[in-house]
Amino acid sequence: MPITGPLARYLIQADHAHDHLQFPHVIVKVIEKKHGKNYADERTLVVVFDGDYSFEDDCIVHGWVEEIRQQSHRGTFKEVLLVELARRKVFPIF
Whether the ω angle into residue 24 lies within 30 degrees of 0, i.e. cis, is: yes
C-alpha to C-alpha distances, 32 to 19, 63, 71, 83, 89, nearest whole angstrom: 19, 19, 10, 17, 22
Query: What letter would DSSP give residue 35?
Result: H
Residue 41 lies in a domain: yes
Residue 16 pLDDT > 70: no
Residue 9 lies in a domain: no
Residue 12 lies in a domain: no
Residue 17 lies in a domain: no
- pLDDT at site 4: 74
Residue 67 lies in a domain: yes
Number of folded domains in the chain? 1
Residue 47 lies in a domain: yes
Mean pLDDT of 57-65: 93
What percent of the chain has pLDDT above 70? Answer: 93
Tell me the pLDDT tens digit for each residue of 36-48: 999 999 999 999 9
Range of the domain at 67: 23-92
Residues making up the chain, counted from first to last: 94
Residue 1 pLDDT > 80: no
Strands 44-49 and 89-92 come out as: unpaired
Residue 16 lies in a domain: no
Angle 26-71-68 from CA coordinates, rounded to 5°: 60
What proportions of the chain, in percent to the nearest 5, are helix, strand and coil? 45, 15, 35
Residue 34 lies in a domain: yes
